[in-house]
Amino acid sequence: MPSMRALVIDDEPDIRELLEITLSRMSLDVDAAANIAEAKQYLETCEYNICLTDMKLPDGNGIDLVRHVQKHFPSLPIAVITAHGNMDTAIEAMKAGAFDFVSKPIDLPSLRKLVDTAITTGQLPNTSESSIKIIGDSPQIEKLKKAIQKLARSQAPIYISGESGSGKELVARSIHELGPRNSSPFIAVNCGAIPKELMESEFFGHKKGSFTGASQDKQGLFQAAEGGTLFLDEVADLPLEMQVKLLRAIQEKAVRPIGAPSEIATNVRILCATHKNLEQLVNDGNFRQDLFYRLNVIQLNVPALRDRKEDIPQLIGALLTRIAHNCELEKPGIDSAAQKKLIEYSYPGNIRELENILERAFTLCDDDVIQESDLQLNRSASPPAPRDNGKQSSHFNASINHASIDDYLAEVEREIICETLEQTRWNKTLAAKKLGISFRSLRYRLAKLGLDDSDD
């Protein structure tokens, strides 16, 4: 097996020697250059697995070398060494194509992790676009898949923009799975779903006894994602005071759990997303400009479903297959008029809305074929207001103390179905009749709620 090789560029002999010793102990063969001209000569004569360059060099700027490597050796990971706290330079380098950065004074454990990740990146197999789990062949999706393939090999933070339901988390997961961190955790968090008072503990963790109720140590999201990817969904919903703490964690690559005496170094890649306009929020003073600048090193837009309608037939087939599989039922066909209607629809809720429409049609259709009437596209999205007649159904007496309205509605549905099944002694045909739904719809709901554990 050929040995791994590294190229180090720095005009300070002490730094070159430190890097040579450190990388040699990692079983890498090391070449060292004092300036850009020497580095280019090495690059022309040898193949390298990683390149480390200082930013300030006698005959130019490290970013110039980054651009040279990107143009002539695009598969070579190049990391830059920056002055402590000089995040502007690090961001500029990553925008130019740098794999990652390390700050002076150089933290050797962090450097080793960076080198390991870079070498793993160089050994990743070439992936085809077909390996990306994003459905569609439209020009917009082909462009998105190409971007995912390229960005998966970088460690730069990525801001994924797009409307609600357009598939931003799937894009983030695809970037993670195709990259060098794919054997480590992918942690997704909805920033808008965390109570404000628990946010710091959720992100950074806490030590036992650090506040009332802290009965044991808690690992934060940064620690849970160690070595992998932390995906911050709906990042625009972070309160301003938490934005300050998040910015520091990202810049210092370290977090301090509540009650801990010192910071803990972290090694995570940050991806974020929101359906809101972050630039407008920055202009309005509701999102920190420095955090936006740090997160928005590379921006990737996910197209709305209405802008790629040629993908809808393929999406319909894939979603119906998944729904049928989850319910252990046969996949239904779809009438041509129903499919035409689905293609013409505008989808304000994007793919998530298409999936909800198909789930509903799946339960309503007869003879295993979805008709246009099963889609109920003209149905009002808003439920009718409850009648105030002084009476309240026994099914709704419980306090709504759940993680989401979906959990509450599922619990209510389970209670109604179980009560009806008990009344009919688990005769599903009779229960479906009493509930006013088809037998197929009952089967679907039982499977969805985990109640289908008896024979018909």
Cis upstream peptide for 105 (omega within 30°): yes
Residues 115, 105: Cα–Cα separation, whole Å:
17
440 vs 40, more confident:
40
Please give the single-letter amino acid code of residue 4: M
| DSSP states along 334-369 | E-HHHHHHHHH---TTHHHHHHHHHHHHHHH-BTTE
Pick the CATH number of 398-448 from 3.40.50.720, 3.40.50.2000, 1.10.10.60, 2.60.120.10: 1.10.10.60
For the chain, give the mean pLDDT. 87
Question: What pLDDT, on a 0 to 100 scale, did the predictor assign at position 451?
Answer: 76
Question: Does the structure show a pLDDT above 60 at 383?
Answer: no
The average pLDDT across 241-269 equals 93
The average pLDDT across 146-157 equals 91
- Strand, helix or coil for residue 300: strand
147 close to 174: Cβ distance less than 8 angstroms: no
Exposure string over 255-272, b if 16+ CB within 10 A, otherwise e: bbbeeeeeeeebbbbbbb
Question: What pLDDT, on a 0 to 100 scale, did the predictor assign at position 132?
Answer: 86
455 vs 374, more confident:
374
Pick the CATH number of 305-375 from 1.10.10.1200, 1.10.8.60, 1.10.10.10, 3.10.129.10: 1.10.8.60
Question: What pLDDT, on a 0 to 100 scale, did the predictor assign at position 366?
Answer: 78
Dihedrals phi, psi of 340, to nearest 5 degrees: -60, -40
Distance set, CA 198 to CA 192, 203, 205, 206 (Å): 12, 9, 10, 10
Question: Does the structure show a pLDDT above 80 at 164?
Answer: yes
Name the pLDDT band for 129 (thresholds 50, 70, 90). Answer: low
- Other C-beta atoms within 10 Å of 82: how many? 23
Q: Kindly report, residue by residue over 97-115, the tens digit of the pLDDT.
A: 999 998 888 889 989 999 9
Residues 167, 165: Cα–Cα separation, whole Å:
6
Question: In the sheet where 298-301 sits, what is the strand order?
Answer: 186-190, 229-233, 269-274, 158-161, 298-301
4 contact partners, CB below 8 Å, separation of at least 6: 27, 28, 29, 49, 50, 119
Question: What pLDDT, on a 0 to 100 scale, did the predictor assign at position 405?
Answer: 62
Distance set, CA 177 to CA 89, 152, 226, 238 (Å): 28, 8, 15, 26
Q: Kindly report, residue by residue over 169-210, the tens digit of the pLDDT.
A: 999 999 999 999 999 999 999 999 999 989 999 999 999 988
446 vs 101, more confident:
101
Q: How far apart are the first and last CA of the chain?
A: 60
Question: Does the structure show a pLDDT above 90 at 1?
Answer: no
What is the CATH T-level fold of the domain 4-122, as seen in this structure? Rossmann fold (3.40.50)
Q: Can you list the positions of beta strands (E) in 256-413?
A: 264-265, 269-274, 298-301, 333-334, 369-370
176 close to 182: Cβ distance less than 8 angstroms: yes
357 contact partners, CB below 8 Å, separation of at least 6: 342, 375, 376, 377
Per domain, the residue ranges of the chain are 4-122, 135-301, 305-375, 398-448
Question: What pLDDT, on a 0 to 100 scale, did the predictor assign at position 449?
Answer: 76
Name the pLDDT band for 381 (thresholds 50, 70, 90). Answer: very low
Q: Kindly report, residue by residue over 41-68, the tens digit of the pLDDT.
A: 999 999 999 999 999 999 999 999 999 9
The helix-helix angle for 439-448 and 312-327 (nearest 10°) equals 80
Question: What pLDDT, on a 0 to 100 scale, did the predictor assign at position 403?
Answer: 47
Residues 268, 227: Cα–Cα separation, whole Å:
5
May I ask the CATH class of domain 135-301? alpha beta
Exposure string over 364-400, b if 16+ CB within 10 A, otherwise e: bbeeeebbbebbeeeeeeeeeeeeeeeeeeeeeeeee
Which of 76-90, 138-152, 223-237, 262-276 is the least confident region?
76-90
The reply to whether 305-375 shares the fold of 135-301 is: no
169 vs 133, more confident:
169
Question: Does the structure show a pLDDT above 50 at 388?
Answer: no
Going 224 to 229 to 231 to 232, the CA torsion angle's sign is positive
| DSSP states along 190-216 | EGGGS-GGGHHHHHHEE-TTSSTT--S
